């Protein structure tokens, strides 16, 4: 893995952020990418071209209205077919909340995200413990480090069969656990996992909402210090060997004119 301090500065990293119908947090994800020192590239669900990006973020929201199952219809979008192929070839992919659901529905990650055990939508600042610093998206953290980032979901409970859960434990593929209470009944207190290669990560809480000093969650050290989530985005730059830059190209926006079902038509 390259060290960002010695990485090339020839160009900024280009990180794609996908917008599906019903996506809510694509704007915040693009902003987090820019704050990390990369160029945010808007990717549209109905396209097949991932624009040669270096990494991809699948943001939170309610893609396709969560019809059938949360994240299920998004897997049929043209863009996801390209992303699955690229991820299997090693492209770093981060799925946040609904993006995590899309990753499990796409079988890029095992298990499933189902209705919270208490059957309520939840939203609060959540304490996590980082369990792995060996992935493309967590290498900037220390194993055992405790962070605070926002959590908001109704279908956030991670479930899997016992064999899968034991394999995740044995292989060190649980990247973050809930601490100070399990908010949704997730098995083994799982907040996030990775694939075997470490390039694909799914996380239920929202790191993109905790990137700006003074505007994020409280931490033990200082009220509303709020930057614990930024390291997910800077980590992938170190993984890619591309140094962060101060002046990146502003993010483009998804097309204004579209049809909600365009991405699932053959």
pLDDT above 50: residue 263: no
- pLDDT tens column, 16-74: 999 999 999 999 999 999 999 999 999 999 999 999 999 999 999 988 877 777 778 88
- pLDDT tens column, 200-256: 999 999 999 999 887 777 666 655 568 999 999 999 999 999 999 985 544 444 334
- pLDDT tens column, 141-156: 999 999 999 999 888 9
Q: What pLDDT, on the 0 to 100 scale, is given for residue 72?
A: 81
Question: Is residue 124 among the annotated active site residues?
Answer: no
Of the pLDDT bands very low, low, confident and very high (cuts 50, 70, 90), residue 6 is very low
pLDDT above 50: residue 195: yes
- pLDDT tens column, 89-123: 999 999 999 999 999 999 999 999 998 889 888 88
CB 38 within 8 A of CB 250: no
Q: What pLDDT, on the 0 to 100 scale, is given for residue 222?
A: 57
Q: Which of 45, 206, 209, 239 is catalytic?
A: 206
Q: What pLDDT, on the 0 to 100 scale, is given for residue 259?
A: 35
pLDDT above 80: residue 13: yes
Cα 25 from chain centroid?
A: 11
Q: What pLDDT, on the 0 to 100 scale, is given for residue 255?
A: 38
Question: Is residue 97 among the annotated active site residues?
Answer: yes
Q: Which of 97, 105, 155, 209 is catalytic?
A: 97
Q: What pLDDT, on the 0 to 100 scale, is given for residue 221?
A: 63
Give the span between the Cα atoms of 208 and 191, in whole angstroms.
15
Q: Which of 39, 45, 208, 239 is catalytic?
A: 208
The partner residues of 61 in beta bridges, in order of sequence, read 23
Q: pLDDT higher for 214 or 157?
A: 157
The sign of the torsion formed by the CA atoms of 54, 240, 140, 212 equals negative
Q: How far is CA 187 from CA 38, 103, 113, 167, 190, in A?
A: 34, 18, 10, 13, 6
């Amino acid at each position: 893995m390259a060290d960002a301090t010695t990485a090339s500065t020839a160009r900024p990293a280009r990180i794609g952020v996908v917008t599906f119908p019903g996506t809510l947090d694509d704007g915040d994800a693009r902003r987090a990418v820019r704050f990390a020192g990369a160029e945010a590239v808007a990717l549209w669900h109905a396209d097949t071209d991932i624009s040669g990006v270096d990494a991809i973020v699948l943001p939170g929201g309610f893609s396709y209205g969560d019809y059938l199952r949360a994240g299920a219809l998004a897997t049929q979008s043209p863009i996801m077919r390209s992303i699955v192929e690229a991820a299997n070839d090693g492209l770093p992919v981060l799925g946040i909340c609904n993006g995590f659901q899309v990753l499990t529905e796409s079988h890029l990650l095992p298990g499933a995200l189902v209705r919270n055990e208490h059957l309520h939508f939840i939203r609060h600042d959540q304490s996590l413990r980082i369990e792995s610093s060996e992935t493309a998206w967590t290498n900037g953290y220390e194993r055992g480090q405790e962070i605070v980032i926002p959590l908001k979901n109704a279908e956030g409970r991670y479930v899997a069969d016992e064999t899968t859960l034991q394999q995740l434990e044995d292989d060190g593929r649980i990247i973050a656990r809930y601490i100070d209470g399990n908010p949704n009944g997730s098995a083994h207190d799982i907040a996030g996992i990775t694939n075997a290669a470490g390039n694909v990560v799914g996380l239920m809480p929202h790191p993109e909402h905790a990137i700006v000093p003074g505007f994020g969650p409280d931490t033990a050290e200082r009220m509303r210090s709020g930057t614990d989530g930024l390291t997910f985005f800077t980590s992938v730059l170190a993984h890619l060997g591309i140094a962060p830059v101060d002046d990146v190209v502003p993010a483009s926006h998804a097309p204004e004119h579209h049809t909600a079902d365009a991405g699932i038509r053959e």
